[in-house]
Amino acid sequence: MIEIKLQNILNREERSLNWVSIKTGIAYSTLHKLNNNNTTSISFNTLDALCKLFKCKLTDIIDFVDEEKR
């Protein structure tokens, strides 16, 4: 399972989804779905914008969690 770790970054940076939306141009609804792990896809443009904004690596935003090992 792919897990989105956006909330961890938001907490660390003390930022909101609204702030991210304004800074990146990513729709708030898209960010909300990502933040709630309620999406089936994510564009490279979105990942690129988030990595640039937070100056982080892709692995800081998404992670693979092996459900069999949970």
Domain ranges of the chain: 2-69
pLDDT, one tens digit per residue, over 36-67 is 999 999 999 999 999 999 999 999 999 998 87
pLDDT at 46: 98
Asked if residue 12 has pLDDT above 80, the reply is yes
What's the pTM?
Answer: 0.89
The correct answer on CATH 2.60.40.10 for the domain covering 2-69 is no
The mean of the pLDDT values for the chain is 95
Within a 10 A sphere around the Cβ of 49, how many other Cβ atoms? 16
Q: 14: part of which helix (H) or strand (E)?
A: none
pLDDT at 70: 63
